[in-house]
Structure formats: C-alpha cells, structure tokens
Structure 1
C-alpha cells in the first residue's frame, strides 16, 4: 500500500505547477497534502477513483489539509480533541479496519519562537491523541511536522540551533513522540543518510544549493515497522518549497 505526503504551499498555486501530473505519476493509495490555503470547492481537482477529505482553516487562504483515498474511510475526524486546535485545519484522521491514517500540518513556532508555548501544548495534546488511537489499532502518521529531528536532518545545524524548527523544545517533543511507540520510517530504512531534505527556504537559492531541512515525515506505530518496504523523499519533484515524501507498507 502506497502513501504520499506533500506540503504543497497552496494547492491552487501547485495545480499550475504540475500537481495533477505528479498525482497521477505517484499513483498512491492515499495522497495527503498540507498547507492547502483554500476552502472546499476553490480548486478544480477531483481525481477519479478517490474519495476526498478536506479540512480548511477558519481563516481563508491559510493552513489546511486534505487527503485523497482510493478506499473510503470507515470514519473521519477533523481536528484533535481540544477545540483550541480545531480552527486552522491542521489534522485529519481516517479510520480503516486495520489502521488509522493521520495527516498533520503542525503549527510553526515562528520567528524568535513567538508561538512556542502554543506549539508545546499542541505537541502534548497530539501525543495523547495518537497514543489513544494506537491503543485501538496501529497508526500511520504523515505530514509537515515543522521540526528537523537531528543534526543530519538539515544542512546547517549550527547556525539554526534554537531557531524555529530546530529548537531543543521542538526536537524534544519529537523525541517524546517516538518514545511513546512510533517509528520514523525514513530513518528506519536510512539511519545515516545525509543531504536528503524535504523543504528549502525560498531565499538565498537554498534549493539550488540543497541547503534544506527534513521536516516532512511518515511515522508509524512501532508494530508496523517490520512492514515498511520503502520510505523515500522525492527531492526532484518541484511545484512547492517542499517535496513529496512517500511510504510503502505491506498491509
């Protein structure tokens, strides 16, 4: 079973940059996107053979997530348990007989960590939510988690230490999530790979220089780790400041 996750930095903009061709070429069972920046019906995209799940932010043109699934879900949940997290379109959970699929766009801590307190609350509430799901059936989690976990997950760790996306607080929360029973699928298969990133700043020719960050992930419940077949980062695919990440599981 094949899963794709991609922060498209605006679906309407990405549709003008080859999104439909990429969607067809990747031929996924589940295609998850983040940062849709749209309300339902604002994009002319309805792939045949897929059920669409869209969760938009209250604020127009901001945030948002979506999933296209070949198999309709048994149930769908938009948001987390706490209402304060449910106004920016950041989480979709689909239930299937043998697993939950959770698509996330994690809040950015912003310059000088202006939003770090909210981010820490999000992280704690998200972890509890995922653990409750995991107690029922395995979880497949994907999305833009807005954190580079270790020094090999970004080109320039030294100058960025303490900055949004590479603060001790954010990295520590990912440590806690993994310790709670989840596996980073890319690192499971490629523990020492360097120079492989999923996001590049639009400034300073960062993508051309491959001065990137790995902040887009697939995590799975530990008991699914033996079923991981492939976990890739498709750095050659353009259309956004992020690139797609993929996961193939034997399910």
Structure 2
C-alpha cells in the first residue's frame, strides 16, 4: 500500500507554525504534495527543505510569497519535470515525478479571479495540463494528478451553488472544461468512491464557514483509467486543521 496526500497549505511557513511537520511525521505518507507554499526553499527550516526520510522537489514562483508547489517522496523518482511553459513555470504551478509504478503531477491551478480577470490564463493552463496528461497516457503511463484545481465541478461540490454561478471557481467556462477533462477518460477518484453531498476541501476564513461546513470541494485526485484497479480508497481529511483547505488522501 502507498499513501499519497495532497494539501494546499496556504503558506508552508504559516502551516509550520500550526504543526505541519508534526502532522507529517504522524501521518507518514509515502508521497506528500503541497500547494500554495508561497516560499523558496532557502527561506525554509531544514526540516522542510530535506525532511528526514524524504526527497524533496520544489517549483517556486518568481514572485515572492506567491503560489508554488513541493513534492516530498520516500522513493527517489526516475525523473522530475516541470511544465516547460514559461508563463506557468514562472508561477510554480506544476511539478511531475515519474516512478516505476506511476507518474504523479502535483499542481496548483490558477484562480480565475473576480469578474474572470484571469480566466483566459486559467483556461490556457487547463489546456496545457490536459495536453500533458494525454501525452503521458498515450505513452502508456499510469498518471495521478493531484492538487488544488480551483474549481467546484458540480453543484454537489459546493454548499451554495445557486449564489456562486458568477464567482471564480464556479464559472460556466471552468466547469465546462472540467466536464471535458472527465469526459476525456479521466477519473475524479473521490467521486468514484463517494457520491454524497457535504464533502468539501476548502472553506472561507470569513463567517465561520468551516464550523458550518459551508465549503467547496476544489482539491482533487484525478487518475488515468488504467490505474483505477490499483486504487484502494480516496478520502477527504476534513478534521485536519492548519489551512483554509484540508488534505486529501489516496491509497494505492
């Protein structure tokens, strides 16, 4: 069994002060993918640059205190790749690790922002992601994509769909792209196992949304269908605090 966890920590240094390292040691994942790290490795404490028992691979944004992803893994990957597109790599949004059993992509999708100010940028990113996934799959790879996709796919994936149709993360264009992604043969693993409402991964810090469970499910594990037989479970770890997102876990 392999345990893979993905979590948007909304600042790795802030999460460190809230017990991230202690949680990581207790949870002991085989692979840990963090998003929105907001930090270059050189400003982190050694335990997050090189955690004991893990290899670490960072993709950081050129802009300080912004975006960024890091993947920690117990097994050394065969290769490490970035997206290879400057407008996305400059924001530290993608890192891809190849292992003998599968390839894992840790990603932080752009926010389309109010009035869709970055919607075109996001849709270009979405298209590039699907191109990467298709290419890997066409070459016979088993692929896991995880991270904050910044979209609630269906009405079941947020508490108040009717009042959010014009808000970033639930725009028709974003949801239509997600339809096309899933229809291309990719599997939203959590939904495969759990079709019930009320399961969210992000809550606004305002209005005590988490206490009331007024949230959005915007963090995902998406896999190629050739990996489905090897998946044991996928869970939302909504009891874990330390960010406005909670972690999600995939068991192989």
**What interval of TM-score do these two structures reach, taking the shorter chain for normalisation?**
over 0.9
User: Greater shift after overlay, 176-185 or 103-112?
Assistant: 176-185
Report the CA distance between 1:123 and its aligned residue: 0.9
Could you tell me which residue of structure 2 aligns to residue 50 of structure 1? Answer: 54
Say if 2:170 is the partner of 1:166.
yes
Could you tell me which residue of structure 1 aligns to residue 146 of structure 2? Answer: 142
Could you tell me which residue of structure 1 aligns to residue 110 of structure 2? Answer: 107
- Indicate the SS of the match to 1:41: helix
Unaligned 5+ residue runs, structure 2? none
Structure with the largest fraction of helix: 2
Say if 2:243 is the partner of 1:240.
yes
Alignment: residue pair count: 247
Whole-Å separation in 2 of the counterparts to 1:157 and 1:99: 35
Kept in 1: contact 2:157–2:216 (CA 8 A):
yes
Could you tell me which residue of structure 2 aligns to residue 31 of structure 1? Answer: 32
Which residues of 2 match residues 80-91 of structure 1 at below 5 A? Answer: 80-91=83-94
Whole-Å separation in 1 of the counterparts to 2:220 and 2:30: 17
Report the CA distance between 1:171 and its aligned residue: 0.8
Taking structure 2 as the reference length, the TM-score comes to 0.96
Deviations 1:87-129 (CA, angstroms, capped at 9, x unpaired): 1000000011221100000000001111111111111111111
* Correspondence for 1:221 among 216, 220, 224: 224
Unaligned 5+ residue runs, structure 1? none
Whole-Å separation in 2 of the counterparts to 1:168 and 1:25: 40
Taking structure 1 as the reference length, the TM-score comes to 0.96
Report the CA distance between 1:27 and its aligned residue: 1.3
